[in-house]
Structure 1
C-alpha cells in the first residue's frame, strides 16, 4: 500500500517538532486527528514507527528511515509546484510573508505598491510574528519568506538552509521627553542616568539595546518593558523614560518627544530570508527587488 502524502507530511512534522501537540498546533489540527493519522501510517507501514517515552512519541529506526524518505518526497512535490508556478502564464503566484509591527506599518505598504506596479500577478499574504519567530516559520515552510533583523551591536545568528538578502538599513536614534535634553547629537552615556523603556531582553531589539548600552559603559535602568516601538514611544511622550527607536518605528511619532541622532550611529539591517532551495524562484527575487526599491525611496537603502 502506498503511504498517504498527507500522513508523510505529519510524520515529517513530528520528526521536526518533537511532539504530536506541536504538530497539531502548527498545522491547525486536533491532537486526536494527528494521532489517528500517524497510527494509520504505522499500520500502512506494517512495522512500528513510534515508541512512547513518557507522554511523547519518538521515532523508531524504521520511523526515521521513513521520515527521511518523507523529506525527499515532500521536497519533490514542492519543487513540482514551483515548476508549475514558473510555467503558469505570467508567473502568477501567492507568497506568504512574515512581518512585524514596524515593517507592517511602513515598509510593507510601500513595498507592495512597487510590487503591484511591476508584478501585478504576484499576490502577497502576510502573517505578523515576533521577529524572533520568523526564521523558524520560513525554514519549516509555513512562510515563503520573512523579514529578519541584524543590529550593528548584535548580529543575528545565521540559520542553516536559509538565504538572506538585505533590503534596508535603518539608523537607531534616541527618543527622549520633549525638552529634557538640549537639541543636537547625544551619546548613549548622556542617557545613562535616565530611566529606560526597552523591549524584553529575550527579544532581539531588547538585547541589542542592552548590549549597546553596556558597550558604552553602563547597564540601563529599565523602568518599563515594551515590546512594540509604538508603545515605547507613547511611554516616552508621557515622560516615563527614554528609549531607542528605528527609522521604521519612527514613521509615526507622537507629540511630546524629541528624536536625537546618536554619536555611536547604531544601525539595524532589514533583510528578506527565504530557503536556499527557493533561490531560483523568480517571484521571490521580484519581492526582494520591490522592497529594496521601496526602502531606497524611503531613504533607507541597503546598497
Structure 2
C-alpha cells in the first residue's frame, strides 16, 4: 500500500532509479554511478519500501519498471533537474563561490593540464574544490549527461569527428598535434610523413576507442593499414613498449609528459589534430564555478602553447 502520508524520497535513491530506467540493468546502473550492483539493489529495494509499492519486475537479467516505477522515474528526472537548478541559483547568489565539482579526466590531461590549472584555481578561488575521476575519453561525456560528473574533458579528432549529445555543451581548451613516437634511432630526425611508418610494427589502442579509431583512419588516408602487433588501451603503456623497441605509435602534445626513456618524438608533415574541450550540461552553463574552472584550464593550456578559444560546431 502506498505510503503517501509519510513518504520521504531520497535524492540518492531517485538517482539510482533514474539510471536503472535509462540503462535497463542494475549492473549498468551501478557502473554508471560507481557503486556495486548489490549496493544499488539494496537501495532500490529500500526505495520500494519508502514508497510502499512495487516499482520493479525482473525479466531474466533485466529489470523492468512497473507503471508506478515509470511514473516515479519520470518525476525523478524533474526532481533532480530542479535540485540542480536550485544549486546553481544558490551558487550565483553567493559573493564567494564555495562548491565541490567532480570532473572526468584521462591520463594525459591529468598529468599535463590539471596540476598547474588546479594550483592556480586553489590560489585564486579556494572555495572551489575539484575532484577527478579517471575514465576512458569515450566514456566521459555520457557520465556528464547522466549527472555522475559535473564536467569532463572530451576530445574530437580532425578527421574523425565524434557524435555529440545536444544536451551537452563544450568549451574548447586546447588544440593538440599528434606526433610519431618511435624507438630511439629508428628513424631519421626531423620531420616525416605518416606513410613512412607503414612498414613498422604498431602499438595502438582498440578501434573501439576514439584514439585508436582516429589513428587508423589517418593511416588509411595516408595509404596504408597499420600492422598492429600490440593493442593496448593506456598511452603510457604504449609508450613504454615503444621505448622497449616493440613498435611505433602516435602521441599527443599533452601525452609528451608521459614519455619514458628510449623514445624519439618525430613531427609529422601533416599531423593529425585533435581538440580538447570541457563538456558540461547545458543547464549548467551559468554556473560561476564551472566558468572559473574553464578559465583556469584554458590559462594552463595557453602556457603550454596549446590555447584555443574557438567554438565547436
Equivalent residue runs for 1:103-142 within 5 Å: 103-142=109-148
Q: Deviations over 1:231-256 (max 9, x none)?
A: 22221122111111001111242332
Q: Find the partner of 1:251 among 254, 257, 264.
A: 257
Kept after mapping to 2: 8 A contact 1:17/1:23: yes
Q: Deviations over 1:157-182 (max 9, x none)?
A: 10231111110111100111222212
* Alignment partners' CA distance in 1, 2:241 and 2:294: 34
Unaligned 5+ segments in structure 1 are none
* Alignment partners' CA distance in 2, 1:234 and 1:98: 24
Partner of 1:146: 152
* Alignment partners' CA distance in 2, 1:211 and 1:27: 33
Equivalent residue runs for 1:78-117 within 5 Å: 78-117=84-123
**Once structures 1 and 2 are overlaid, which stretch shifts more, 176-185 or 145-154?**
176-185
1:174 is the counterpart of 2:180: yes
3-state SS of paired residue (1:293): helix
* Alignment partners' CA distance in 1, 2:64 and 2:177: 47
How far did residue 126 of structure 1 move? 0.7
Q: Find the partner of 1:37 among 46, 61, 69.
A: 46
Using a 3 Å threshold, how does the CA distance of structure 1 residues 183 and 9 change in structure 2: closer, same or farther? closer
Q: Deviations over 1:115-135 (max 9, x none)?
A: 223322211111111111111
Kept after mapping to 2: 8 A contact 1:185/1:261: yes
Q: TM-score, normalised by structure 1?
A: 0.92
Unaligned 5+ segments in structure 2 are none
Partner of 1:5: 10
CA RMSD of aligned residues (A): 1.9
Q: Deviations over 1:136-173 (max 9, x none)?
A: 11111111101001111222210231111110111100
Q: Find the partner of 1:28 among 35, 40, 54.
A: 35
* Alignment partners' CA distance in 1, 2:146 and 2:274: 25
How far did residue 87 of structure 1 move? 2.8
Kept after mapping to 2: 8 A contact 1:154/1:208: yes
Using a 3 Å threshold, how does the CA distance of structure 1 residues 73 and 220 change in structure 2: closer, same or farther? same
Q: Find the partner of 2:290 among 279, 284, 290.
A: 284
1:155 is the counterpart of 2:164: no
Instruction: Say how many residue pairs are matched.
Output: 300
Q: TM-score, normalised by structure 2?
A: 0.89
Using a 3 Å threshold, how does the CA distance of structure 1 residues 133 and 83 change in structure 2: closer, same or farther? same
How far did residue 184 of structure 1 move? 1.6
Q: Find the partner of 1:295 among 281, 292, 301.
A: 301
